[in-house]
Amino acid sequence: MGTTVGVVDYGFGNIRSVVGAVERLGHHPIVTADPGDLARADRLILPGVGAFGDGMQHLRARGLVEVLDRLVREERRPILGICLGAHLFATVGHEFGRHQGLGWIEAEVVALQPGDGLRVPHVGWNEAERRRASLLFDDVPANALFYYVHSYRLACGDEALVTAECDYGERFPAAFQRGHLYGTQFHPEKSQRHGLTLLRNFLEKA
């Protein structure tokens, strides 16, 4: 049968890659900003590439903040945030100013400051070193690499949220989980076999 997956369309992100990955796994993506379509979805994915403030502005302009709040906070619909999508779960983002986020997790979004001559943005394959158990990493080898593209990172007020970390001159959360809320700094849809395993875990086990 497969799972119906609401891919939140707010004008930001790598939606085509996410849709392709969901389809390869045998599930049914619906790219939509329609509240009714999102309400019918078994799982939600909030993708994203771009700046925090612009992402929140686009969510508000499409009336999606209230819709997502109801589905995620009240109805406890499983949701996966990817890159900027995961950042938007935070309380505050500090990218080109100070911007209020969705406030679903105790975290802020701050600039990467890796030092050691490392370039920003952080682009390429890197680790996701496990910090605590999460179903996202079921059947994913401990040494698996994932694909990153970002200039900002999460700073979690509650370290218990962090399920994996990456080291790029400084350590930052690579993945987090709070109950039915999941997020990855890396792009699983661009991370080949291990990324697909992680997405399957979310779609079939969350």
d(Cα 197, Cα 20) in Å, to the nearest integer?
A: 14
In contact, 188 and 16? CB cutoff 8 Å: no
In the prediction, which pLDDT does 42 show? 96
Active-site annotation holder among 27, 58, 187, 194: 187
List the domains of the chain with CATH numbers.
4-205 (3.40.50.880)
| Statement: residue 11 has pLDDT above 90 | no
Kindly report, residue by residue over 105-132, the tens digit of the pLDDT.
999 999 999 988 899 999 999 999 999 9
Which candidate in 83, 99, 150, 166 is catalytic?
83
How confident is the model at residue 49, as a pLDDT?
A: 87
Please report the pLDDT score of residue 75 as a whole number: 96
pLDDT over 80 (residue 1): no
Based on the residue annotation, tell me whether 99 is a catalytic residue of this protein: no
Residue 166 designated active-site = no
Burial 131-146 (b: 16+ CB within 10 A, else e): beebebbeebeeebbb
pLDDT grade, residue 78 (50/70/90)?
Answer: very high
Verify whether residue 180 is a known catalytic residue.
Answer: no
With a cut of 80, say whether residue 13 has pLDDT above it: no
